[in-house]
Amino acid sequence: MRRDIPIQAIPPTEGCGDVQVRQERGQREVFCGLTGIIWLHRKMQDAFFLVVGSRTCAHLLQSAAGVMIFAEPRFGTAIIGERDLAGLVDVHDELDRIVGQLLARRPNIRTLFLVGSCPSEVIKLDLGRAAQRLHGLHAPQVRVLHYSGSGIETTFTQGEDACLQALVEQLPEREDPAPNLMVVGTLAEVVEDQLRGLIEGMGVSQVDFFPPRQSHELPAVGPNTRFVLAQPFLADTARALQARGAEIIPALFPLGVEGTSRWLHAIAQAMGVAEARCAEVIAPAAARAERSLAAAREVLDGKSIFFFPDSQLEIPLARFAQRELGMRLTEVGTPYLHRQLMAPELALLPSQTEVCEGQDVDAQLDRCLAAAPDLVVCGLGLANPLEAKGLTTKWAIELVFTPIQGFEQAADLAGLLSRPWRRRLKLAA
Ligand code: SF4
């Protein structure tokens, strides 16, 4: 489970900041960290993710990846069978054999991630030792790393955090004394290109995105590196970058017009760009995005929304829904709350907002049914039962799989929240 990791001090932003945080420990309804492989393997095109797990793990990945399995995907599962579990064969030997076959068949793989799962954890398979041994066998052509995506240790988006944390240790040391910017968190390429255009348009020329599109082209890091998170679930990665001397830029997350504007202004301030220059560069895109929200606002203004905990995106999403779409926040669940990273977001939530960290799913379902919100954002497993009770739902996973960051995507994000309501209105007509 996660610890609250001290991140270097983030100054408070304006706002009331007196939200109520309820903590719950009970049965949870969330995916495990293996799910992150779906977007990580799309992003790093020369990496391969080998889950050391069971048939359940393989099924999870194949169903989450959908049609991708018909192409030759860059992920797979080394199945731990009954003989392995019974200690009848040496799992390390089996792993060496599978990896040898894989790398011979796929010579374009430059980074191989061994991904731990519940079964590998249960049999106490030392994946660190396995990665070291396999790295010795296959370097320099292939770098072999490991991290855990097991459901015992991680939820949903924590898999990306664990993966990026493992990569941070591999980043080369930056010698250049000029300050550079690193944008941290997996973003769709279209979003990355738009954000890069705006950042470079402000005059910041040394900008890297992490993770990179090619895993062997790792950006350098050092004491002159300033980094900003593009995703809210990367506390361990942030801590690892700080340990390499980099400094975090406190900011809102780039969701919605306000989130993206403030995120870019925070970058500008940290990188010595004049406020006016930043405002001038972002104004046209911000104005366009603002106009594009009108249709969704018309549907959602005044409606209430309830978030079940899923991806750690819930708090920035709630801020966007409330401040830019006029929605009322009934409850904002999050699987884990990193108070320092989330401080700028929490400060903008209305006073008395109910934030719930962790989960006791039955109690939370009772509260949700009692509140009867207009829209519920929840995991796949809860959506059908809630729809059956007459509630309107949105699958939280769609908000992770769809590009929603930045100005150009603000309307898409709003559309994801308004679509279930439009559907309901059509059915009622
Ligand atoms: Fe299930 Fe654990 Fe495998 Fe995730 S890692 S699919 S929770 S067995």
Residue that the structure tokens 């072999």 belong to: 144
Higher pLDDT, 54 or 184: 184
Protein residue with its CA nearest to atom 7 in ligand 1: 151
Protein residue with its CA nearest to atom 3 in ligand 1: 57
pLDDT at 17: 56
Residue that the structure tokens 């679509």 belong to: 419
- Cα 60 to middle of ligand 1, angstroms: 8
pLDDT at 85: 61
Least confident of 37-46, 87-96, 248-257, 369-378: 87-96
Look at residue 84 and tell me whether its pLDDT is greater than 70: no
Residue that the structure tokens 């009867």 belong to: 372
Give me the mean pLDDT over the 340-361 stretch.
94
273-300 pLDDT per residue, tens: 999 999 999 999 999 999 999 999 999 9
Do residues 327 and 321 touch, judged by C-beta distance below 8 A?
yes
Give me the mean pLDDT over the 247-265 stretch.
98
Which residue intervals of 54-203 are DSSP H helices? 55-65, 82-85, 91-105, 118-122, 127-138, 158-168, 189-201
Look at residue 203 and tell me whether its pLDDT is greater than 70: yes
Residue 32 Cβ contacting ligand 1 at under 6 Å: yes
pLDDT at 69: 52
- Mutational pocket test of ligand 1: of 37, 50, 57, the residue with most ligand atoms within 8 Å of the beta carbon: 57
Protein residue with its CA nearest to atom 1 in ligand 1: 57
Look at residue 1 and tell me whether its pLDDT is greater than 60: no
10-37 pLDDT per residue, tens: 443 444 457 889 999 888 877 899 999 9
Residue 57 Cβ contacting ligand 1 at under 6 Å: yes
Q: Which atom of ligand 1 is nearest to the CA of 59?
A: 6
Q: Which atom of ligand 1 is nearest to the CA of 61?
A: 6
- Cα 311 to middle of ligand 1, angstroms: 17
Q: Which atom of ligand 1 is nearest to the CA of 119?
A: 8
Q: Which atom of ligand 1 is nearest to the CA of 118?
A: 2
222-231 pLDDT per residue, tens: 999 999 999 9
pLDDT at 23: 92
- Mutational pocket test of ligand 1: of 32, 49, 147, the residue with most ligand atoms within 8 Å of the beta carbon: 32
Residue 151 Cβ contacting ligand 1 at under 6 Å: yes
Q: Which residues contact 222 (CB under 8 A, 6 or more apart)?
A: 173, 174, 175, 176, 244, 245, 246
Mean pLDDT of the chain: 90
Protein residue with its CA nearest to atom 6 in ligand 1: 57
pLDDT at 237: 98
- Cα 140 to middle of ligand 1, angstroms: 31
State what percent of residues in the chain have pLDDT above 90.
Answer: 76
Look at residue 124 and tell me whether its pLDDT is greater than 80: yes
Residue 35 Cβ contacting ligand 1 at under 6 Å: no
- Cα 32 to middle of ligand 1, angstroms: 6
User: Residue 201 to residues 197, 277, 345, 422: CA-CA distances in angstroms?
Assistant: 6, 9, 26, 37
Residue 34 Cβ contacting ligand 1 at under 6 Å: yes
- Mutational pocket test of ligand 1: of 62, 85, 150, the residue with most ligand atoms within 8 Å of the beta carbon: 150
Q: Which atom of ligand 1 is nearest to the CA of 150?
A: 5
- Cα 116 to middle of ligand 1, angstroms: 9
- Mutational pocket test of ligand 1: of 34, 49, 59, 156, the residue with most ligand atoms within 8 Å of the beta carbon: 34
Place 91 in a pLDDT band, splitting at 50, 70 and 90: confident
Residue that the structure tokens 């308004």 belong to: 418
pLDDT at 225: 98
* β pairing state of 328-334 and 247-248: unpaired
- Cα 284 to middle of ligand 1, angstroms: 45
Look at residue 2 and tell me whether its pLDDT is greater than 60: no
355-413 pLDDT per residue, tens: 999 999 999 999 999 999 999 999 888 999 999 999 999 999 899 989 999 999 999 99
Give me the mean pLDDT over the 57-84 stretch.
74
User: Residue 395 to residues 60, 87, 361, 383, 392: CA-CA distances in angstroms?
Assistant: 17, 40, 16, 7, 10
Residue 118 Cβ contacting ligand 1 at under 6 Å: yes
Residue 56 Cβ contacting ligand 1 at under 6 Å: yes
Residue 54 Cβ contacting ligand 1 at under 6 Å: yes
Look at residue 9 and tell me whether its pLDDT is greater than 80: no
Give me the mean pLDDT over the 68-82 stretch.
72
Residue 117 Cβ contacting ligand 1 at under 6 Å: yes
